Amino acid sequence: MTNAIASWLPWAVVLPPLVSFLLLTALGSKIRKAAGWIGSLATLISLIFAFRALTAVSGGATLVADPLLLLSYGDVEVAFGADVSPLSAIMLVVVAGVSFLVHVYSIGYMAKDPRIAVYFQYLSLFTLAMLGLVVSTNWVELYVFWELVGAASFLLIGFDYMRPAARAAAFKAFIVTRIGDIGLFAAMILAFAQTKSLAIADTFQAVQSGALAPNVVTGLALLIFLAAVGKSGQFPLHVWLPDAMEGPTPVSALIHAATMVAAGVYLVAFTYPIFAQSPSAQFVVATIGAFTAIFAATMALVQTDIKRVLAYSTVSQLGYMMLALGAGSVGAAIFHLTTHAFFKALLFLAAGAVIHAVGTNDITVMGGLAKKMPVTAAWFVIAAAALVGLPPLAGFFSKDAVLASTVPGYPAHFTAAVLTVLLTAAYMGRVLWLVFFGEARDAGRHAAAHEAPLVMRAPMHVLGVLVLVAGAFTAPWTGPIGRVFGALGEVAHAPLWMAGLTTALGLLGLGFSFLCVRGAIPCPLGDPTRAAYRLLEERYYIDWFYERAVGGAAALFGRFAEAVDRLVIDGLWRGIADALIVSGERADAAGGGQIQRYNAVALFALVVMLVVFALSMKGV
């Protein structure tokens, strides 16, 4: 490893959430009010250390902390290490930063919830796992935090546990991501089988030195990608993410928009040395990414739940990041990951403020809220514009970086990505016009709406500023931030025609949806009875297929196994037992209580045994 610097900083970033998690677990409900502040403070400390780590590695160095040896025998060495490279430094800052803002926002959002301490306990667990994941140096460590992230997400989705929908969503999220995780599990074992080491660096070295067969490298890459597909909601494992919106809205902002779902992208970026050696794996990543981008965008067009629109948008944007990774540009992917974390978190926080105000997720009953909550509306509009990719917002630069990375060699992917811009603009425009402008469709809810309290507005302000400035992060003049992005490799700059094209498409989409919502022009998807609408509404019947086919098959196997148990195996044993009882009764009846008859039978048996013995001994 080049430029390794021994440092305690990596642990200092990870530890505060651990302390806060343990503290909240131990104290529990006794400290209802203080819980939020404990969690926020811990995350703030992490954020400060993460910034220090970022400045320390901006020259391209890597911080290496002392590992903890947890399991060691033979070749197996599970040592929890903590390294911070430029890539992980960016991720640490994004995670700690968004997490801190969401913690603060949640203090207001969750104030009335009786289980607020539990909420912050889970949130701390999530932050801990996410930061741990980013600094991992060992496959097992990576997997441990990877799954803990999933578990924390599962707990938070099911936080509102009384509602069957939340329960079902939590279950779905865990199972679907678990299927992906099996890929990482297998990858970890494959890596060990090939290199006899669980250290990730050893695997990279083996891959780069060409010690592994090309097929093995591709297999390793695809297994890792499977995990990323599960976590980042890529097709065909995207089904859990929209349902995950059953969790509290700040959780959606933090976990299911900004950080955890980006963990899949981070994983691929982090293990990029493996992908780099396998063009076919890269092609798979790019294709899945491009397909997911456009596929999820179409489904977002017809959703009526504001959070679900944002969820599909997240899936779509994660597709962009995967596309950039597949096209070979880690820089573009991480750049987009960063800006997306900011504007999508802002969108969710603003949406949360709206939901908090009107008490529903349904965009068809909102309307005209811009007058009631101007600050929220302003930030929502800015974030949406960033998502669509209008200059000069953050999303414009990062999206064009992604598009530019695909130009050499991926024309079909490029086309899909550009079309996605149009779709993105269309669905975001629909939400904007329906929620914030036009007439109030529910007068009662409209009248009760109000601006969110300061503790919820402040994080939105911070994120809003970031959305405005983050587009410049790759520019060298931003100091350490620019340098650290530079360390990830060259980020392609979009040519002028491409910038013009995406901007034009974005404006076209917004305008089209405006006219649609106003009824000025007939909407292609305006009629709920049309087949196309049904298809999108039913999410291409993929969820339906999973539930029926996969869930049904599992249940069928289960019933079959149980039937075998009851009828065949239990029946077999019972049959043997019955046969023994019957034969015993027969033999019993034959004796009739006559002792001499018993003895005669015994004598006969003895004689038979002796004869058999004598015959068998003949050879000896």
Partner 1 sequence: MPEVFPLLAAFVLTPVIGMLVVAFVPSREGGLLKTIGWVIPAVAFVFAAYAYAHFNIQSAEPQMKASWPLFSFTFPLYDPSINAFTFTDVSVPVALAVDGLSLPLVLMTALVTFMSALAVQSETRRLKAFFLFLFLLSVGMNGVFLAQNLIVFFVFFELTLVALYFLTAIFGGFGREKAATAFLVMNGLGSLVMLFVFVVLFQLTGTWEMRGIAEKLPLAAIDPTLKRTLFWLLVIALGVKLPIFPLHTWMLKVHREAPPAVVMLHSGVLLKIGAYGLIRFVLGFFPDLMPQYAPALALLGLVNLLYGGFAAFVQPDLRRVFAYASLSHMGIVLFGVAALNTYGLMGAVFQMVSHGLISALLFLLLGMIERRTGTSRIDELGGLARVMPTIAGMLLFAALANLGLPALSGFIAEFQAFLGLFLSPSWPIAACGLVGLGISAAYMLRAVLRTTFGPLGAEHAEVSDARPLEVVPMFVLAAAIILIGVYPNVLAVPLQATLYDVLGRIGG
Partner 2 sequence: MTPSELMQYLLFSAMLFVLGLFGALTRRNTVIVLLSIELMLNAANINLVALSRFLPGGAENARLPHPSLAGDFSATLGQTVALFTIAVAAAEVAVGLAALIAFYRLKASPNVDEMDSLKR
Contacting residues toward partner 1, per CB under 8 A:
69-74, 76, 78, 140, 143-148, 151, 158, 161-164, 166-167, 170-171, 174-175, 178-179, 181-182, 185-186, 188-190, 192-193, 554-555, 557-562, 565, 568-570, 572-573, 577
Give which of partner 1, partner 2, none residue 595 binds (C-beta under 5 to 8 Å, depending on kind): partner 2
Taking the complex as a whole, how short is the minimal distance between the CB of residue 58 and partner 1, in angstroms?
32
- Give the shortest CB-163-to-partner 1 separation in angstroms: 8
Minimum distance, C-beta of residue 144 to partner 1, in the bound complex (Å) = 4
Q: What is the DSSP string of 339-370?
A: HHHHHHHHHHHHHHHHHHHHS--BGGG---HH
Q: Residue 61 or residue 149: which is nearer to partner 1 going by CB?
A: 149
Q: Which does 560 bind (CB under 5 to 8 A by kind): partner 1, partner 2, none?
A: partner 1
589 versus 615: smaller Cβ distance to partner 2: 589
- Name the one residue in this structure whose structure tokens are 């953050």: 394
Asked whether the beta carbons of 203 and 257 are under 8 A apart, the reply is no
Nearer to partner 1, 78 or 385 (CB): 78
Tokens encoding 430: 């629909």
Residue 114, C-beta contacts closer than 8 angstroms, at least 6 positions apart: 32
Q: What, of partner 2, partner 1, none, does residue 596 touch, CB below 5 to 8 Å by kind?
A: partner 2
Residue closer to partner 1 (CB basis): 179 or 468: 179
State the nearest-atom distance from the C-beta of 558 to partner 1, in Å. Answer: 4
| Sign for the pseudo-dihedral over CA of 28, 31, 36, 38 | negative
Q: Are strands 62-73 and 4-6 parallel, antiparallel or unpaired?
A: parallel
Q: CA distances (Å), 94 to each of 6, 88, 144, 379, 481, in order? A: 23, 10, 21, 19, 12
Among 603, 610, 611, 612, binds partner 2 (CB under 8 A): 603
596 binds partner 2 (CB under 8 A): yes
Contacts of residue 296, defined as CB under 8 A and 6 or more positions apart, other chains included, come to 235, 238, 312, 313, 315, 316, 319
Hey, which residues between 159 and 218 contact partner 2 (CB under 8 A)?
none
- Partner interacting with residue 140 (select from partner 1, partner 2, none; CB below 5-8 Å by kind): partner 1
- Which of partner 2, partner 1, none is residue 475 near (CB under 5 to 8 Å by kind)? none
Q: Two tokens at 612?
A: 């058999």
The owner of tokens 């779905």 is 172
Distance of closest approach, residue 586 Cβ to partner 2, in angstroms: 14
Interface of this chain with partner 2, residues 538 to 567, rule: CB under 8 A: none
The count of residues interacting with partner 2 (CB under 8 A) is 9
Least distance from partner 1 to the Cβ atom of residue 296, Å: 24
**How crowded is the C-beta side of 509, counted as CA atoms within 13 Å?**
29
Q: Which does 559 bind (CB under 5 to 8 A by kind): partner 1, partner 2, none?
A: partner 1
Residue 599 site contact among partner 1, partner 2, none (CB < 5 to 8 Å, cut-off depends on kind): partner 2
**Options 547, 576, 599, 608; binder of partner 2; rule CB under 8 A:** 599
Give the phi and the psi of residue 94 in degrees, each rounded to 5: -60, -50
Q: Decide: 449 and 372 in contact? Cβ < 8 Å.
A: yes
Among 8, 553, 594, 608, binds partner 2 (CB under 8 A): 594
What residue 101 binds from partner 1, partner 2, none (CB within 5 to 8 A, per partner kind)? none
Q: How far is it, in rounded angstroms, from Cα 434 to Cα 382?
A: 16
Contact of residue 166 among partner 1, partner 2, none (CB under 5-8 Å per partner type): partner 1
Beta-bridged to residue 481, according to DSSP, are none
Q: What is the distance of C-alpha 183 from the center of its chain?
A: 14
Give the CA radius of gyration of the chain. 30
DSSP assignment of 291-309: HHHHHHHHHHTT--BHHHH
Bridge partners of 306, per DSSP, are none
| Residue 501 CB neighbours (<10 A) | 16
Q: Pick out residues in 574-593 that bind partner 2 (CB under 8 A).
A: 591-593
Residue 83 CB, shortest distance to partner 1, in Å, is 19
- Are the beta carbons of 105 and 464 closer than 8 angstroms? no
What is the residue whose two structure tokens read 């039913």? 538
Q: Which residues bind partner 2 (CB under 8 A)?
A: 591-596, 599-600, 603
